[in-house]
Amino acid sequence: MDSEFNAYIDGFNLYKGSLATRPYLKWLDLRSWCQNQIPNHSLRSVFYFTSRVKRRFDSDKAPERQHLYLRALEKSGVEIAYGRTRKSSKWHRLRSAERVEVINPELKSHLGLTQLSINSSFRRSQPDLPKAQVTFYEEKGTDVNLASYLLRDAYKNKFSASLIVSGDADLVTPIRFAHEAGQHIKVLIPNSGQRISALRSVCNEISVIDPEELLLHQLPYLYKSPSGAVIQRPSSWR
């Protein structure tokens, strides 16, 4: 086997765990950053698993920002594997009667009437809890795609190592199989609150992503691809 490795990145897991609250890190140069994780091997391919985000309201620019970033990734040599985003509405029980915990942005209280109305709803629902209808955007297929790509490459024995960026404990079994196939596995966890212990037992190395390191691996503000295309970083990602 060559001293090369592939990187497999759960895009939404990385985003939610390390980037969502840090817009200045979102223009991440994945190839540069991944190569830095296993410096004694040559980076072959980076696979980025994600799905297209849906517009949540009329002025929502998130889909345009994501499109720019995905274009920049593709131009930089990252292969993107798409799942799908499913929108659904469900009724869920409220966990608290406190106005500040019921809705965001917070409902204002006019002479205490808003809080009184919430309290009334809790009383009338007893012994159950009142419900609210909530819209969900669920990303589907990422974990299956990542596991499939990882095992495909592990069983072909093309590479001696794999880098996996995800804190999803559902990946424990495919990671274990890849390890048993002879892969040196390094796992990067986007957030320390994720279940590190479940993944620790099936890999060679595991650590939590350091945001300061991400700052060192950002694409240029005006990214010029090898083909000459120029892609500008979204203005809000600063």
Rounded to whole angstroms, the Cα distance separating 213 from 18 reads: 11
pLDDT tens readout for residues 90-148: 888 988 888 888 888 887 888 777 888 989 999 999 999 899 888 776 777 799 999 99
pLDDT of residue 212: 95
CA dihedral 179, 185, 189, 194 (to 10 degrees): 20
Assess contact for 115 and 99: CB atoms under 8 A.
yes
pLDDT of residue 62: 93
Task: Indicate if the alpha-carbon torsion angle 175, 176, 181, 182 is positive or negative.
Answer: positive
pLDDT tens readout for residues 179-236: 999 999 999 999 877 768 889 999 999 999 999 999 999 999 999 988 898 999 999 9
The residues pairing with 164 across neighbouring beta strands, listed in sequence order, are: 8, 187
Least confidently predicted of 16-20, 57-61, 233-237: 57-61
pLDDT of residue 114: 87
pLDDT of residue 200: 92
Rounded to whole angstroms, the Cα distance separating 135 from 82 reads: 22
pLDDT of residue 24: 97
Single pTM value for the model = 0.86
